[in-house]
Structures are given as structure tokens and as C-alpha cells.
Amino acid sequence: MGSATATATSAGLAFAAIDYLGVVSILAYAPGATAAFAILIGGLVVILVSAIFSELNGLYPTAAGIRLYLGRAIGNRTALSVTFTYMTTVVLVIAADAFLIGAAVRHVLNEPAVLAYVWIAVLLGIALAANLRGVRLAGWVQTVVTYTVLAGTSVLSVVALFHVGGAFKRPLDLFGGGTFSGIQAVAFALFLYAAFEWVTTTAEEARSPKVITRALFIAPALIWIVASVFALALSHLVSYSTLHGSAYPQLLLGRAALGTVGELWMLALTVMTALNTFNGGFLVASRFIYAAAREGNLPRQFARLNMNAVPWLAVTTLAGVSAATAAVVFATGEWLLLVSVGAAIECAIYAVGSLCLLILRSRVDRKRPFKMIAGRPLAIFGVVLFSLLFVATAFADPKNSTHFSVAPFTVIAILGSISTAYVLLVVPKLQRAAAARNAAARPRRRPSRPSAEDSDSNQVLGE
């Protein structure tokens, strides 16, 4: 992987169809052009995240890097529990994205839910096939699709802005609805960038650690540009009352800007987001699963590679779990809950990453390919900031911006409990089995046969 592919992987994981809905969630707390201001602040905060994960990835540039630096900082068991919970964000984003893409297809083509789900199954199959053919093909698909989606969304948003008359409304009034509303707006703005840091799990596929560092800084900048112009166009051209509760705001913007042509334009881009999200999600998460299995933390079957050096069982399992989760979301329609859960988990992992950097700055005396300026004070700032943002999103009502809810936190607690139970009950058995296999495979030294001279000497000594 070169810089272009790594950047496309990072940006494609973050900029899914759910990002269009994420902008609407920001508008609930930061109306009008204020949403673009919240996205800017979120982007500046994410630059801190980019620096933190760049330094950590430089220390441990492997597919298991996340578990390694967490383990060095807070202990192996806690690290495994956190990383397995964190890994669910990829499946959650894929499932929510699948529902939103299906809803967009149903809206334009007037198809039943079952047929819309067939579309999702086909797109999952395409992403699965591309990944099984190897990282080169998967990377090529990711590069083409991601840059097409980003450019297409930006162009239509700019066209929509030409329809706008008058000044932008409330451009800097971020805390006009209260301090907590402003904090929640920034927290949901962070969700637009969520999962961009997962590109670090492809470190073993990259040409050098610098490739991952470039991707971690360039991808958020691209997302900021696209999300900002989309938010400005959406807030100015479509009323919030129309957007509220809609699962396809991008289609509403397309129709408002260019009529049927604009709606079909955005539908095509929405369908393409499925490929960059599904394909990128399989690419990064499968490498982490492979690394975990290689270390004995998952069944060893997940570490098996096919002829294209792809952990085929990990990719196939991810596709199956994503399809099943998407079916549940199709049946329940609870995609807004996934947005809140994903945003909260991302804030939590950013807080943990900041804590790891703070601890490893003292414990690990090693040359770093990338070293963040003012690392310790910024790491402390990150721990405090992202912890507050976690609380703001974990207890926010995804359906009503003026209410609190324990539903997101409850889901996170359940996922964390399942991961912890697995680490405490299953992982020790897997590691004992791995140790036994390694001991059995280790060649044993045979006792050397005595030479003729030694035999004669022994006979003399015996006499």
C-alpha cells in the first residue's frame, strides 16, 4: 500500500453513508452554518488524534499494534477487552451504512425492504470477493471508489450552494443552545471522522510507517472539506423539519439542487459508499483478527492465509456477521442508536489512546519515526477532552436532542462485558492450546550415541 491507497482506506472507512446522517445529527445541536463550525472544531481535535496514533503506530507498526500499545500501557487482559469492544465499531458502521443505503434505494426505486436487502448482500459479496483476491485489488477498489464519492459529494454540494441566496445563518453561534448542546455537536462532528485511525491495522501492508502517518493526517482534511460544504448546502437549501427523521438527507439535497438528476447522482454515490465502507472495513478488521489469532487470542483458523496472502476466514466471517447485523437493523430500524454507540466508542478509544501515549512516553525509551510536539500535555488534554465527549454521546438520546438516554451506554456496557468474558474464559484456553502445539512442534534433541573410544574408556573405568 502506498500513500494514496492508505489515505483512501482511512477516509473511506470514515466517510460512509452514515456521515450524511451524521451531519443532520450535528444540525440538531448546531443549526444552520454553525454545523460547519462544529465540523471544523471536530477536525482540529482529530488532528490531535492523528498525531497520537501516528506516534503509537510508529512504536508498534504491526497489524496487532492497537493491542500491543494498549497492553504495554494498561495490561494485556484490559487491552484485549478494549480492542475487541473497539472492533465492533467496524461492524456497527457497516450495518448502519447497509440500512441507510437500502433506505435510499427503496426511496428512489420504490422497492420492498427485502429487495433492498438483496442489494446490500450483493455489495457485501463484491467487497468480500475483492478482499479475497488480495490487498492490491482491494486497495485499488478502495482508492477509486473513495475518491469518487468524496469528489462527487463535494461537486454537488458546491452546485447546491449556487442556489443559496443571502448570508449564512448563525455561522459562529455554537453554544447558542447551551454549553451541553455545543459539546454534543462537537462529539457528533467527531463521528464524521470515526474509524479513520483503523488504517493503522494495515501497517504490515504499507510500504513504510510514514505511509500510515500521511494517511492519518490527509484523510481527516479531506473529510473536513467534503462534510463542511455538504453541511452548508444542506442547512441552507433544505429545512431541518424536512431532514429530521429522514434516512436519506443526501437525496433530498440532490433533488433540491438538480431535481431528479441530482437525486440519482446522490443515489449512485450512496451505493458507492457501501463499497468503500464494506471493502475498507474488511481490509482493516481482518488484519486485526489475523494478528489476534496469530498471537493465540482467537482460534488459530483465523490466521490461515489463502493463495493471495489474505486471512480468508477472517474476511468471510466479517462479511457474514455484517450481513446478519444489517438484517437486524433492517428489521428494527434502530440505526440512530448505532450512530450514538459508534460515536461514544470512538471518543472512548481516543481517550484510551491519549492515556497510552502518556504512559508509554515514560516507559518506552525507543526511537520514534514520528514524535508529537508537546506530547505529555497534549496527551493529558486528550484524556480529559475525549472522556467528556464520551459521556456526552454515551448518554445522549439518539432520537431527541433535548433528552438524555442510557441506551447507548447500555449497549456499550453489554459489548464490553461480552469482550471481557471472552478474554477471561476463552483466551486462556486458546493460549494453553497454542503453547502445547508449539511445545509439540519443537524438535527434541536425541541423546548422542557413545563412540567406540568412549565405550572402551567406560569398560576400562568399569574394570
HEC profile for the chain?
CCHHHHHHHHHHHHCCHHHHHHHHHHHHHCCCCHHHHHHHHHHHHHHHHHHHHHHHHHHCCCCCHHHHHHHHHHCHHHHHHHHHHHHHHHHHHHHHHHHHHHHHHHHHHCCCHHHHHHHHHHHHHHHHHHHHCCHHHHHHHHHHHHHHHHHHHHHHHHHHHCCCCCCCCCCCCCCCCCHHHHHHHHHHHHHCCCCHHHHHHHHHHCCCHHHHHHHHHHHHHHHHHHHHHHHHHHHHHCCHHHHCCCCCHHHHHHHHHHHHHHHHHHHHHHHHHHHHHHHHHHHHHHHHHHHHHHCCCCCHHHHCCCCCCCCHHHHHHHHHHHHHHHHHHHHHCCHHHHHHHHHHHHHHHHHHHHHHHHHHHHHCCCCCCCCCCCHHHHHHHHHHHHHHHHHHHHCECCCCCCCECCHHHHHHHHHHHHHHHHHHHCHHHHHHHHHHHHHHHCCCCCCCCCCHHHHHHHHHHHC
* Cα 219 to Cα 41: distance, rounded to the nearest angstrom: 16
Length of the chain (residues): 463
For residue 451 the three cell numbers come to 563412540
Nearest to 121 by CA among 98, 89, 145, 88: 98
* Cα 432 to Cα 227: distance, rounded to the nearest angstrom: 48
Asked if 11 contacts 148 with a C-beta cutoff of 8 angstroms, the reply is no
What's the pTM? 0.80
pLDDT of residue 223: 94
Question: Which residues on adjacent β-strands are paired with residue 404?
Answer: 396
Report if residue 173 sits inside a domain: yes
Question: Which residues on adjacent β-strands are paired with residue 396?
Answer: 404
Report if residue 161 sits inside a domain: yes
pLDDT of residue 384: 92
The gap from C-alpha 123 to its chain's centroid, in whole angstroms, comes to 19
Report if residue 457 sits inside a domain: no
The sign one gets for the Cα dihedral 129, 130, 133, 135 is negative
Report if residue 416 sits inside a domain: yes
Report if residue 178 sits inside a domain: yes
Report if residue 432 sits inside a domain: yes
Say how many domains are in the chain: 1
* Cα 431 to Cα 156: distance, rounded to the nearest angstrom: 53
pLDDT of residue 451: 52
Report if residue 452 sits inside a domain: no
* Cα 371 to Cα 367: distance, rounded to the nearest angstrom: 9
CATH number at residue 313: 1.20.1740.10
Asked if 135 contacts 283 with a C-beta cutoff of 8 angstroms, the reply is yes
pLDDT of residue 461: 37
pLDDT of residue 180: 62
Asked if 192 contacts 22 with a C-beta cutoff of 8 angstroms, the reply is yes
* Domain ranges, residue 327: 3-440
Asked if 246 contacts 162 with a C-beta cutoff of 8 angstroms, the reply is no
For residue 309 the three cell numbers come to 496472502
Asked if 279 contacts 148 with a C-beta cutoff of 8 angstroms, the reply is no
Report if residue 461 sits inside a domain: no
Q: Cα dihedral angle (283, 285, 287, 292), rounded to 10 degrees?
A: -170
Q: pLDDT below 50 — which residues of the chain? A: 452-463
* Cα 444 to Cα 135: distance, rounded to the nearest angstrom: 39
Is 321 exposed, middle or buried, given 0-12, 13-18 or 19+ CB atoms closer than 10 A? middle
